Amino acid sequence: MQKILIAFGGNALLRNGDDSTFGAQLIRAREAFAKISDTILENDVIITHGNGPQVGNILLQNELSGGVTSPMPLHACGSMSQGLIGEILLNAYDDIRIKKGISKEGVVLMTRTVVSPDDPAFRNPSKPIGPYYDRQASERLSREKDWVMREENGKGLRRLVPSPVPVDIVERSAIFSMLNDGFMPICVGGGGIPVVKTPGGFVGVDAVIDKDLASSLIATILEVDRFVILTDVSNIFRDFGKKTEEGLHRISHEKLGELLANGSFPSGSMEPKVMAVLDFVRKTGKKAVIGSLDDAGRVIAEEAGTVVY
Amino acid sequence: MQKILIAFGGNALLRNGDDSTFGAQLIRAREAFAKISDTILENDVIITHGNGPQVGNILLQNELSGGVTSPMPLHACGSMSQGLIGEILLNAYDDIRIKKGISKEGVVLMTRTVVSPDDPAFRNPSKPIGPYYDRQASERLSREKDWVMREENGKGLRRLVPSPVPVDIVERSAIFSMLNDGFMPICVGGGGIPVVKTPGGFVGVDAVIDKDLASSLIATILEVDRFVILTDVSNIFRDFGKKTEEGLHRISHEKLGELLANGSFPSGSMEPKVMAVLDFVRKTGKKAVIGSLDDAGRVIAEEAGTVVY
């Protein structure tokens, strides 16, 4: 019996271009839980997940209904996505739980993640989110809402938001209690709702938190034995897409840190995952694994994927 | 130290016609928590809440973006509203908590409520939800989505959904655990996400669960000492709006049951609240109070509102 945190990539529910209906997402979530049911049966498991495609749709719905309803800020769209994905994951897990005779219940905890107002990301918004706009609409939004906009490969302009580093998880005690009480917490959805701490309380901010970095943080806080990232690639690759491309199987955190420093990983996709596992392994001395959701059982057993020690 | 369940009416966050922005809802939620902060400090408190105006806006956004994104089913819109309202209540509570030096943390638990597929409400959808449609759109929706539509006072046609009776709360153990661990659970939002239990698991259904009946159910399950409904009227009134109108102050459940049977309460508004408190008092022998949110402290102390014993 180990404490294992499993971070589901966006592909556990919805891939770009996939059927995005509720029913289709439910089927995919069921497949994801079926692949890790033995792990849940034998261990204390915490589930975290991304929310990219879902929050994108919610944002789009907000924008398209502008003038008819009050559009909610980005962080509130994140909260809605935690609710939506929470229902999908709970129902999907219960289907598998009943089938496999697992008594452990899942529970979805709304989670807020603290970021620093001094994070340099706030001075340099870099994450494109939401729909594409033409130049006129873009200039209006920039003026009215103070949005930073950027042209994207000829398709129009998109809003850019900051992606600050997560520094704390507000609901850490609640997650810890639920785990101790024998539940499987489903939490830190989409990296958590970004908030800054003020003397008066917590204030939601429009930002995007990398879900792997936030998962690494809660994995470290909970002192789990293993941190598992299930995604859509089989391994960490050095020099991905180049002639020197090489899938990594077992690698020390020192060596992986060198590769990261040498710029071996593409910044958009694998880099934050590498940073997330490195941070966990360095702080806890425990192992982390990155691998394919399709091969989840073998990844968790360290027979597939990239093991970082 | 008592166990007290407090059900916030919709007006705790948003009244019809009010400013529905995130910021405005946050301010109202903060005012609501300020009114019950002493109760939270001195007791074990569970919070439940409605979601009418919020889920209405989410539904509208879904409809207006049809064809661009996959519209989510009604129950999933309910999940989104649990997330949205969850963030508002957590942030608002933390503001008050820090101000008043309350150590108890709030936690938002996604909650599913079981209804029976045999509930007669499914054969007689009665709750209007979402936007108004013209006859042509209405006939198309009726055909394509099997929606039941009804003309509403000259404004157009609206979808009708069933309002079945809640029979169980899926997350009952998690809520109980959180309460026992010293947290203030915020749960059963909007009456919970309606699901039916099948041999294979739980399936979301498009229905609306009365939040007071669902609150009564979880209050009974948790065996709380007091069930408090905070709403926008000062008391239960018999013959509301008639010449014989009379505000009730203290009344036995037997007497209140007689008034209910005699049709003394309007079916849309006060009737489900009366049914909710009656059910709780009959099953537990404990007291319930209905009163105004504005006067929350005195309602909880039984100095205002209607006490049912």
Q: What is the pLDDT of residues A231-271, one digit of tens each?
A: 988 999 988 778 888 899 999 999 999 999 998 887 777 89
Q: What is the mean pLDDT of residues B206-214?
A: 96
Nearest to A185 by CA among B107, B93, B87, B84: B107
Provide the token pair at B306: 């209607």
Percent of chain A with pLDDT over 90: 76
**Could you give the CA distance from residue B77 to residue A83 in angstroms, rounded to a whole number?**
9
On whether the CB atoms of residues B161 and B155 are closer than 8 A, the answer is no
- The DSSP string of chain A is --EEEEEE-GGGT--TTS--SHHHHHHHHHHHHHHHHHHHHHSEEEEEE--HHHHHHHHHHHHHTBTTBPPPPHHHHHHHHHHHHHHHHHHHHHHHHHHHT--PPEEEB--EEEE-TT-GGGGS--EEEEEEE-HHHHHHHHHHH--EEEEETTTEEEEEE--PPEEEETTHHHHHHHHHTT-EEEE-GGG-EEEEEETTEEEE-S----HHHHHHHHHHHTT-SEEEEEESSSS-EETTTSTT-EE-SEE-HHHHHHHHHTT-S-TTTHHHHHHHHHHHHHHH--EEEEEEGGGHHHHHTTSSSEEE-
Predicted confidence at residue B16, as pLDDT, reads 67
Query: How far is Cα B241 from Cα A28, in angstroms, rounded to an integer?
Result: 53
Backbone angles phi, psi at B238, to 5 degrees: -85, 145
Average of per-residue pLDDT across B194-209:
96
Main-chain phi, psi angles of A133, to 5 degrees = -120, 155
Closest Cα in chain A, distance from residue B33 (Å): 14
Check pLDDT > 80 for residue A68.
no
Beta strands at B112-115 and B166-169: parallel, antiparallel or unpaired: antiparallel
pLDDT at position A16 is 67
Side chain identity at residue A20, one-letter code: S
Q: What is the pLDDT of residue A20?
A: 85
Output the pTM of the full model.
Answer: 0.96
Rounded CA gap, A224 and A185, in Å? 13
Contact B90 A105 (CB under 8 A): no
- Residues A182, A184, A188, A189, Cα dihedral to 10°: -160
Q: What is the dihedral of CA A105, A106, A110, A111, to 10 degrees?
A: 110
- How many angstroms separate the CA atoms of A103 and B157, rounded? 46
**Contact (CB<8Å) B183/A177:** yes
pLDDT digits (tens, 9 = 90+) for A213-234: 999 999 999 999 999 999 988 9
- Please state, for a pLDDT cut of 90, what percent of chain B lies above it: 76
Calculate mean pLDDT across residues B59-76: 83
**CA-CA distance, A291 to A300, in Å (whole number)?**
9
Task: Scan for tokens 């897409």, then name that residue.
Answer: A241
Nearest Cα neighbor of A308 from A245, A265, A244, A268 is: A265
> What pLDDT does residue A226 have?
97
Task: Quote the mean pLDDT of chain B.
Answer: 93
Rounded to the nearest angstrom, the minimum Cα separation between A100 and chain B is: 11
Q: What is the mean pLDDT of residues A260-288?
A: 92
Distances (CA, A) of A279 to A213, A257, A274, B285: 8, 10, 8, 54
Query: Mapping DSSP to helix (H, G, I), strand (E, B) and coil, where does residue B222 land?
Result: coil
Is B181:B123 a contact under the CB 8 Å cutoff?
no
| ipTM of model | 0.95
Mean pLDDT of A166-188: 98
- What confidence category does residue A69 fall into, taking pLDDT thresholds of 50, 70 and 90? confident
pLDDT digits (tens, 9 = 90+) for B95-106: 999 999 999 999
pLDDT for the residue numbered B246: 87
In this complex, do A201 and B98 lie within 8 Å of one another by their Cβ atoms?
Answer: yes
As a whole-number percent, the residues of chain B with pLDDT over 70 amount to 99
Q: What percent of chain A shows pLDDT beyond 70?
A: 99
Q: Say what the pLDDT of residue A74 is.
A: 94
A173 interaction partners in chain B (CB closer than 8 Å):
105, 183
Question: What is the pLDDT averaged over residues A101-124?
Answer: 97
Interface test with B, best of A14, A79, A132 (most B CBs within 10 A): A79
The whole-number average pLDDT for the span B157-186 is: 97
Cβ distance B69 to A80 less than 8 Å, yes or no, reads no
- Position B173 scores a pLDDT of 98
What pLDDT, on a 0 to 100 scale, did the predictor assign at position A269?
76
Which residue, chain included where needed, has tokens 């261990």?
A43
For B181, the closest chain A residue by CA position comes to: A177
User: CA of B235 to nearest chain A CA: how many angstroms apart?
Assistant: 32
Candidates B107, B109, B180, partner chain A, best to mutate (most A CBs within 10 A): B107
Q: How far from the centroid of its chain's Cα atoms is residue B135's Cα?
A: 31
Average pLDDT, chain A: 93
User: Considering only CB atoms, which chain A residues are within 8 Å of B99?
Assistant: 200
For residues B120-128, average pLDDT? 93
B211 catalytic, yes or no?
A: yes
Of the candidates A15, A12, A47, the residue with the CA atom closest to the CA atom of residue A31:
A12
pLDDT at position B155:
86
Helix axis angle, A172-180 relative to B172-180, nearest 10°? 110
Q: What are phi and psi of A274, to 5 degrees?
A: -65, -45
Structure tokens, A145? 């809402």
- pLDDT in the model for residue A56: 85
* Residue B263, SS3 per DSSP: coil
Mean pLDDT, rounded, for A31-37? 96
